[in-house]
Amino acid sequence: MSKLTGIVPNVSFNLMLATVFALSIISSFSLGYHAYRFFFSNSKKHIALYAGILTAFFLNLGGNLQTIYLFTKGYPPGTPIPFWKILSHYNPIAYWYPNATRFIPFTIHEFPTYSHVVSDLHGHVLNIPIILLIIGLFMAFMYT
């Protein structure tokens, strides 16, 4: 498509990144909003908006909760310590963001947040809007 339109590849790559991210946000918001409105039809509209915003946030920006594990790693069960003591052992210089993709041993699992941050346009990222479209079509078929 880049060659067909005459747009230089570095510009078209960035446009594709923005398009995939925007489609993912909009689609997941729509799915969350309409699912909430379907299951809780007598609720207020602004609550459905919050449900859509939360769906879009958790699906696209939520991550895999590795950061929470990082803060609580080594937390002894049964002997609670204050939260500020957990944070006092955290060394932000030693933190390496790609460790989140190796959270489960011996696997590589990328999540949407990581892929958007590092501009990773692999098939698993390009498929997010398509899968959300399929889920939306399935929901529309089931709701009508």
Residue-level pLDDT at 42: 87
Mean pLDDT of 4-25: 93
Residue pair 29/82 in contact (Cβ under 8 Å)? The answer is no
pTM of the predicted model, to two decimals? 0.78
Cβ-in-10-Å burial (0-12, 13-18, 19+) of 49 comes to middle
Distance between CA atoms of residues 107 and 94, nearest Å: 22
**pLDDT tens-digit map of 22-69:** 999 999 999 999 999 999 988 889 999 999 999 999 999 888 877 776
**pLDDT tens-digit map of 89-135:** 666 666 667 777 877 777 888 888 888 888 888 898 999 999 999 99
Helix boundaries (H) for the chain: 2-5, 9-39, 45-61, 66-72, 83-88, 112-117, 123-143
Residue pair 75/86 in contact (Cβ under 8 Å)? The answer is yes
